[in-house]
Amino acid sequence: MSDATTTPASVAGAGLVKRDIGIKRRYAAERRFRAYGLIAIALGLLFLMLLLGTVISKGYTAFRQTAINIPVTFSKDIIDPKNERADNPKLLMTANYPVLARNGLIEELGIDPKDKKAVRAVGKMISGGSRTRLRNMVVANPSLIGKTVPVWLLASGDIDSALKGQIDLSVDEKRRKVSDQQVAWMDQLVRDGTMVKKFNTGLFTFGASSRPETAGVGVAIIGSLYMMGIVLVLALPIGVAASIYLEEFAPKNRWTDLIEVNINNLAAVPSIVFGLLGLAVFINFAGMPRSASLVGGLVLTLMTLPTIIIATRAALKAVPPSIRSAALGLGASRTQMVFHHVLPLAAPGVLTGTIIGLAQALGETAPLLLIGMVAFVVGYPASPLDPATALPVQIFMWANEAERAFVERTSGAIIILLAFLAVMNITAILLRRRFERRW
């Protein structure tokens, strides 16, 4: 302290000049180090933005689909020229419906019906799915025959892409899928207000289809829901029971150690191995049907169990021992202590863990490929035993399709999948925020 009173300036000055401890260099290194950290975080966030950005920018257009309002004349000459529909029930099923739609559009555009080439080009502007649509209308209401009704029909996938600006119209006409003539008609229809982009309900209700405009994730969503149901019904009780045993009852011995090691390892086993297990045990050995959501549900149950068990055990561990002592002290048995006191207090944590496990199962693809869920399923599965497909598997199948319209659909399906996952995860977070207790 006494030094400070005697000529402080000269002493301090001399010391600083003489001893170079590289402070500048070290501070520069410090700044660099921090910059690396920031760059790493920025890169991570950039990748996230890029990933979500590309998916959304490619996929948001899938939620709108081009439709044409065509005055369809259900001409008796085309549907039923010989007037035999009363005797022949198959007639209404096999009639040439696309021609009806085509004729309607020709009239709308004012084209000469004798110009075969133009007529064919017009026909290609309407989705092949119009056949089913018109057939269902006629079968449901045969009195339509002979009348003219305006019907909203889907435009074909190429026209849809062209209208959305996804087809480069500056390319030579021969090298793209829509001709200049079709584009002109398209513009004309848009000007008239007969061709508009509507909200794409088909994306949510249709099943698999080789035509992009009539392909949807309806069947896949049902399949995924079946599987989520099975996972919930099986994995939640089994997982909770297993965790209760391990956390509250199990004696410390080799058997429980073995179970612990097993659970930790199963959590890290590649998901595709569970697919092999499902194939060998459920399909090959037990003879369950391939492509069924039941098998998928069982495989995903085994896969999610470790996640649920680990989360539940953490939740049980977080309940303070004083609760247990109090319950036991008042004369409760161990089982009563667990089921009446510990488990209700741990319930929010268990629920959160379960939702996260379900979200993980919902996004899983690889094991489902092996048990045959890569299937072209058109109709809704009536039960978990019917062939079905799952949302991520549908994405995988569409990702392999070359057409531009399928890229859009794939991104749209990914957006739907991510929306499901986001809802589940946000629910989990909210549950945790709302019910979490700090002891």
Partner 1 sequence: MRLFFTSIFLPSGARQMSAASTLLIIVCLAAAGYVVGRLRAAALVSTQGLKSHSRSGYYGIFVLIWTALPSLAVLAIWLAVSPLIINDQVFNSLPQSIQSISEADQSLQLNKINAIATGLARLTADEHAAALSGSVDLRALLGEKGIAVAGEIDAYMPEAAGRLNAYRATSSTMRTVVVVLLGIGGFVWAWLQIKPRMRARNRVETVILGALMLASSIAILTTVGIVMSMISETWRFFSSVPPLEFFFGTVWDPRFAAAGEAASAGQFGLIPLLAGTLYIAVVAMLVAVPIGLYAAIYMSEYASSRMRSIVKPLLEVLAGIPTIVYGFFALTTVGPFLRDISARINEMATGDVASFIQAQSVLTAGFVMGIMLVPFVSSLSDDIITAVPQSMRDGSLGLGATHSETVRRVIFPAALPGIVGALLLTASRAIGETMIVVLAAGVAARLSINPFEPMTTVTVKIVNQLTGDLEFTSPQTLVAFALGITLFVITLGLNFYALYIVRKYREEYE
Query: Scanning residues 269 to 298, which ones bind partner 1 (CB under 8 A)?
Result: 269-277, 279-281, 284-289
Contact yes or no for 95/192 (Cβ under 8 A): no
Question: Which one of the spans 67-75, 177-185, 205-213, 267-275 is the region binding partner 1 (CB under 8 A)?
Answer: 267-275
Q: How far, in Å, are 38, 174, 285, 322, 344 from residue 238 at the CA level?
A: 44, 61, 23, 27, 17
Q: Which of 96, 136, 210, 262 binds partner 1 (CB under 8 A)?
A: 262
Least CB distance from residue 55 to partner 1, whole Å?
Answer: 7
Residue 149 touching partner 1 (CB under 8 A): no
The answer to whether residue 311 forms part of the interface with partner 1 (CB under 8 A) is no
In angstroms, the first-to-last Cα distance of the chain is: 49
Nearer to partner 1, 47 or 152 (CB): 47
111 binds partner 1 (CB under 8 A): no
Q: Whole-number minimum distance, CB 36 to partner 1, in Å?
A: 5
Q: Does 199 bind partner 1 (CB under 8 A)?
A: no
Minimum CB–partner distance for residue 216 and partner 1 (Å): 18
Whole-angstrom distance, CA of residue 320 vs CA of residue 327: 12
DSSP secondary structure letter of residue 155: B
For the bound state, the minimum distance from the C-beta of residue 281 to partner 1, rounded and expressed in Å, comes to 5
Among 56, 183, 385, 431, binds partner 1 (CB under 8 A): 385
Neighbours of 370 (CB within 10 A): 20
Q: Is 144 in the site for partner 1 (CB under 8 A)?
A: no
CB of 72: closest distance to partner 1 in angstroms? 35
Q: Considering the rule CB under 8 A, would residue 215 count as an interface residue with partner 1? A: no
Among 244, 327, 355, 388, binds partner 1 (CB under 8 A): 244
The residues facing 149 across adjacent strands are 72
374 near partner 1, judged by CB under 8 A? yes
Of 171 and 268, CB closest to partner 1:
268
For the segment 17-76, give every residue that binds partner 1 (CB under 8 A).
26-27, 29-30, 32-34, 36-41, 43-45, 47-48, 50-51, 54-55, 58
- Asked if 314 touches partner 1 (CB under 8 A), the answer is no
Q: How far apart are CA 263 and CA 261, in angstroms?
A: 6
Residue 305 C-beta: closest distance to partner 1, Å: 7
Binding flag, residue 152, partner 1 (CB under 8 A): no
Question: Candidates 65-73, 150-158, 166-174, 240-248 — which segment interacts with partner 1 by CB under 8 A?
Answer: 240-248
DSSP 8-class letter at 178: S
Shortest reach from residue 259's CB to partner 1, in Å:
6
Q: Minimum distance between the CB of residue 424 and partner 1, rounded to whole angstroms?
A: 10
Q: Which of 145/318 has CB closer to partner 1?
A: 318
Q: In terms of DSSP H, where are the helices of 167-246?
A: 180-192, 202-205, 218-244
Question: Please, which residues have CB within 8 angstroms of residue 390's CB and are 6 or more apart in sequence?
Answer: 220, 223, 224, 227, 293, 296, 365, 368, 373
Rg (CA), the chain: 32
- Report the nearest approach of partner 1 to the CB of residue 425 (Å): 6
Structure tokens at 136: 């269902």
Strands 148-154 and 195-199, bridge-based pairing: unpaired
Whole-number Å distance between alpha carbons of 80 and 144: 12
Give me the amino acid identity at 122.
V
Based on CB atoms, which residue is closest to partner 1, 123 or 216? 216
Query: Is the Cβ of residue 202 or residue 392 nearer to partner 1 in the bound state?
Result: 392
User: Among 210, 100, 190, 217, which residue's Cα sits nearest to residue 150?
Assistant: 100
**Is 330 a binder of partner 1 (CB under 8 A)?**
no
Q: Which of residues 391-420 bind partner 1 (CB under 8 A)?
A: 392, 395-396, 399-400, 407, 410-411, 414, 417-418
CB of 338 to partner 1, least distance (A): 9
d(C-alpha 325, C-alpha 258), whole Å: 28
Contact 193, 184 (CB under 8 A): no
Which of the residues 345 through 364 are near partner 1 (CB under 8 A)?
359, 362-364
Please, what is the minimum distance in Å from the beta carbon of residue 347 to partner 1? Answer: 17
Give Cβ neighbours of residue 259 (< 8 Å, ≥ 6 apart): 246, 250
Tell me which of 60, 152, 199, 249 binds partner 1, using CB under 8 A.
Answer: 249
Sign of CA dihedral 132, 137, 143, 146: negative
Q: Measure the CA–CA gap between 439 and 205, rounded to whole angstroms.
A: 48
Q: Which two tokens stand for residue 138?
A: 């006629």
HSE-CB at 31 with a 13 A cutoff on CA atoms is 6
Count of residues of this chain found to bind partner 1 when the rule CB under 8 A is applied: 90
Beta-carbon contacts of 206 under 8 Å, excluding residues fewer than 6 positions away, are 214, 215, 216, 217, 218, 219
Least spacing, CB of residue 150 vs partner 1, in Å: 38
